[in-house]
Structure 1
Amino acid sequence: MMSTSLDLALRQQQAVYWRNHVLRTHDIAAVTPAAIHDAAARLQRFAPYIAQVFPQTQATNGLIESPLQDIAAMQKALQQVTGRLLIKRDSDLPISGSIKARGGIYEVLKHAETLALQSGKLSLNDDYSVLAQNHWREFFNGYRIAVGSTGNLGLSIGIMSAQLGFEVTVHMSADARQWKKDLLRQHSVIVVEYDDDYEAAVASGRSLAAQDPLCHFVDDEQSTDLFFGYAVAAERLQQQLQDLNVRVDAEHPLYVYLPCGVGGGPGGVAYGLKHLYGEHVKPVFVEPTAAPCMLLSIATEQHEAISVADIGLDGKTAADGLAVGRASGLVSRLMSDRLHALSTVADDDLYRYEALLWQQEQCFIEPSAAAGFAAYQMQMAQTDTPATATHIVWATGGSMVPEAERVDYLAYGMSLLKQD
């Protein structure tokens, strides 16, 4: 049962930090560590293909991965002197420049593999780079893929599906940025625009796809395949932490700050990390004050049965990728006993952190990707946060943002910093 004080704070769009006291276990049969290992193996099989059709991945041998780096200057600017602050730059993931490149691309690849294996023309032991050949593009062109999105998932699904040869449709909510729609159309993706919110775009896309037996709908609210694609990030992060000599144990806990929309991306990452590190990792989700759907979902234990509209919020936020009114019930249940805390952030603070990061580290991320810094600051204000902890802000997107929009974002953020 959600407290009256939390209910009031959410209704008033206050920035809050809520320690998770629910800790109720929900086992979902399809979600297992074995499924994550299966996903990792599948991505490895596709690596030769990815390296061939996306040359920017050749340095990582066809794996879609991002750097983990220290941001000591940012930590100092935030006036934090204990622990170690790093940033996970999914903002620079190749192909589509956001965390959605993990789950979205994985689900498309899995569907392509399933169709190719069923055709009898591909085996698991083949070199998957053959899928770049024209006859395979013609084969996939007989099938369709659809998705509902506020933007970044649509980019990942659209670009990957079109590259393979699928006919792909992206149903985009009113929150979606124009440049994302334009970029998809440049890749020959069909973009269906809605004057309504994310939930409506997904529902319409799902309904239309259900009428077409040759169409695979990527369901951001319910897909376990998306979830597994995100979860693969955990083992790769573990290796990166080892490379940076970062210990994760009882004396050196790991706090990971993850911006959250419907929940698939942060949920998958958090699930994978909890499997590896158990109680020594502390995932913290952060959402816009106008759209705290996951916090509402878990705190009330109503999961997908409750929407931010039920507490009088419209879900409208500058963090377009997080403009979601109803959380994934799948993720909400899985996270109930895995999240350390959930928090919210006001839009203007996103621009402040985005501009400060650029000023201190020359690292550009989009506003929604800066949400993790707000959660970090709130966590550091908690008296029980160990001085020996490591903190990772997960930057979820940014490298695809056009230069003109970057200039506008940073100018606004800098103006806010000057006012402070």
Structure 2
Amino acid sequence: MELQPVFWLNPRQNEKEHDTTSLNRKDIEEAASLWERFAPFIKKEFPETIETNGIIESPLKLIHSMKSSFSKPVEGDLYLKCDNELPIAGSIKARGGFYEVLHHAEQLAKDAGILSEGANYEIFSTPKFKSFFKQYSIGVGSTGNLGLSIGIMSAKLGFNVFVYMSQDAKQWKKDLLRNKGATVYEFEGDFSKAITEGRRKTHADPNGYFVDDEDSQHLFLGYSTAALRLKKQLEKKNINVDKEHPLFMYLPCGVGGSPGGITFGMKQLFGDHVHCFFVEPVHAPSVLIGLLTGEKEKVCVQDFGIDNKTEADGLAVGRPSKFATTISGQLVSGIYTIEDDELYQLLTLLTDRENIYLEPSATAGLAGPVRILETNYIHQHHINPSNITHIAWATGGGLVPRKDRKDFYNKGKS
């Protein structure tokens, strides 16, 4: 409540709750197969995915220079999962947002009898399909990146798409959405206001479908498939993940869906050998407060006199996701909070040291390897720090306009 950075270690990790999810690895694998079915459509509609054959994925990069510039010596290797380079939407939200829109489109087409088993999904590019989807609308509430991913993919399929954006959303994201064919509604209030209004308006349309960031299993599953891809990347780099060689992951967190989905996926694959930590702004620690109090989505940061005002637009969320937080409460190792100024400092440092550009909210995970040293977590778990592989998840920044990049960089420099 004093807006000081904190590090909370989860005492309820691995506890099983009565209302826990029935999702398992099979669900993740089924979600991954949907991506494969849609690959021909994605490849045809988005030329930037031709080289990857319609698969949307980001590189895993060793950032040794960045690690050596930290204020404390960090043992083990530090990698950056570059979701800022994800094709089309330039952020992690492409994983969940695209997945849910594609899942909905597939279901509608099957129900209408225009999609047969074993069809080549390139047919989703045809005028017949696009005019079919024109009868339907998709709505979403967003602080920015989720709106971009939903807007871009929905418009490409032919849906009428409406994005309800909070005051935190950057102007360039609103402009880009309108340019892609989405209708954008702006709200004075924060994310909760935008999502509530968006939900109400979308549900009033009999042909409307609302992508609900606060309570969506499909978004969650879309994010979880990243674990299968990351496992292959780790194997390719000969990085072992076992009891002696644990993986520590640092995931920026807004409503909790994307870090929750990735954590769920990684835990399905690696169990106790992967340790996941969420990061939230000191002004918007919604998931931390939800888990710390045990009240989850029943409380918001404003209940504790915290204003939810942060430069990290993607993390400016006052109330956590009901669906994701229930699962994360059993899986996440801990949560730390970070100040806006540090986000900018990390952004500038990463640009100087590695020539990699992120948006401010996406740098939050880079503080993790140093912050974990301030706790007794490594000692408590009898881990040899030199055997840890650290991964900071870079959640966005690929589409940021040049002028904004320069402004962010200069702010970090100052």
TM-score in same-fold range (> 0.5) = yes
How many Å separate the matches in 2 of 1:405 and 1:225?
A: 32
The CA RMSD over aligned residues, in Å, is: 1.0
- Percent identical among aligned pairs is 48
Q: Find the partner of 1:151 among 127, 130, 144.
A: 144
Deviation per residue, 1:262-309 (Å, 9 max, x gap):
000110000000010000000000000000000111111101111101
3-state SS of paired residue (1:267): helix
- Is 1:232 paired with 2:222? no
Q: After TM superposition, give the deviation of residue 30 of structure 1 in Å.
A: 4.7
> Partner of 1:391 in structure 2?
390
Q: How far is 1:47 from its partner? A: 0.4
Instruction: State whether structure 2 residue 180 is matched by structure 1 residue 194.
Output: no
User: What's the counterpart of residue 25 of structure 1?
Assistant: 16
| Cα deviation 1:378-416 (Å, max 9, x = unaligned) | 01333553221000000000010000000000001011x
* Partner residue, 2:266: 273
> Separation in 2 of the partners of 1:237 and 1:320?
26
Is contact 1:259–1:285 with CA below 8 Å preserved after alignment?
Answer: yes
Alignment of 1:104 onto 2:94 = no
Amino acid aligned to 1:166: F
Asked if 2 retains the 8 angstrom alpha-carbon contact of 1:107 and 1:229, the reply is: yes
1:410 aligns with 2:409: yes
| Residue type at the aligned position of 2:389 | T
CA distance in structure 2 between the partners assigned to 1:35 and 1:95 by the alignment: 25
8 Å Cα contact 1:344-1:375 kept in structure 2: no
Distance 1:400 1:361 in 2: 18
Contact persistence 1:87–1:394 (CA under 8 A): yes
**What secondary structure sits across from 1:60 in the alignment?**
coil
Amino acid at match of 2:394: A
Query: Is 2:197 aligned against 1:204?
Result: yes
User: Bigger shift: 239-248 or 373-382?
Assistant: 373-382
Q: Contact between 2:74 and 2:370, CA under 8 Å: does it hold in 1?
A: no
106, 120, 131: which one pairs with 1:113? Answer: 106
1:134-192 C-alpha deviation (Å, 9 max, x unpaired): 11111111110000000000000000000000000000001100000000000110001
TM-score (norm 1): 0.95
Structure 2 distance, partners of 1:158, 1:363, is: 26
Tell me if structure 2 keeps the 8 A contact 1:22–1:298. Answer: no
Taking the aligned partners of 2:129 and 2:33, their CA distance within structure 1 comes to 22
Contact kept? 1:22, 1:299, Cα under 8 Å: no
Residue 134 of structure 1: aligned partner = 127
- Report the equivalent of 1:348: 341
What's the TM-score, normalizing by structure 2?
0.96
Per-residue CA deviations over 1:39-79 (Å, capped at 9, x if unaligned) read 10111000011011011111211111000010000011114
1:235: Cα distance to partner? 0.7
* Contact kept? 2:81, 2:393, Cα under 8 Å: yes
Note the alpha carbon deviations across 1:107-144, whole angstroms, 9 max, x for none. Answer: 00000000111121212301101110111111111110
How far apart are 1:81 and its partner, in Å? 4.3
Contact 2:143 2:169 in 1 (8 A): yes
Q: Matched residues in 2 for 1:167 and 1:267: separation?
A: 29
**Conserved? CA contact 2:24–2:268, under 8 Å:** no
Instruction: Map residues 8-407 of structure 1 onto 2, 5 A cutoff.
Output: 11-23=1-13, 24-26=15-17, 27-78=19-70, 79-385=72-378, 386-407=385-406
5+ unaligned residues in a row in structure 1: which ranges? Answer: 1-10, 416-420
Counterpart of 1:404, as a letter, is K
User: What amino acid is aligned across from residue 62 of structure 2 in structure 1?
Assistant: D
Mapped partners of 2:377, 2:8: distance in 1: 14
Q: How far is the alpha carbon of 1:34 from its aligned partner?
A: 1.9
C-alpha separation between the residues in 1 aligned to 2:23 and 2:79? Answer: 29
Q: Distance in 2 between matches of 1:403 and 1:34?
A: 42
Question: Contact conserved, 1:25 with 1:336, CA < 8 A, in 2?
Answer: no
Using the alignment, how far apart are the partners of 1:67 and 1:236 within structure 2?
Answer: 10
Tell me if the contact between 2:264 and 2:328 (Cα under 8 Å) persists in the aligned partners. Answer: yes
Deviation for aligned residue 1:38: 1.2
Q: Which residue of 2 aligns with 1:6?
A: none
Residue 251 of structure 2 contacts residue 392 of structure 2 at CA under 8 Å; is this kept in 1? yes
- Structure 1 letter corresponding to 2:16: T
How many residues end up aligned between the 2 structures? 405
Identify unmatched segments of 5+ residues in structure 2: 379-384
Preserved CA contact (<8 Å) 2:250 2:276:
yes
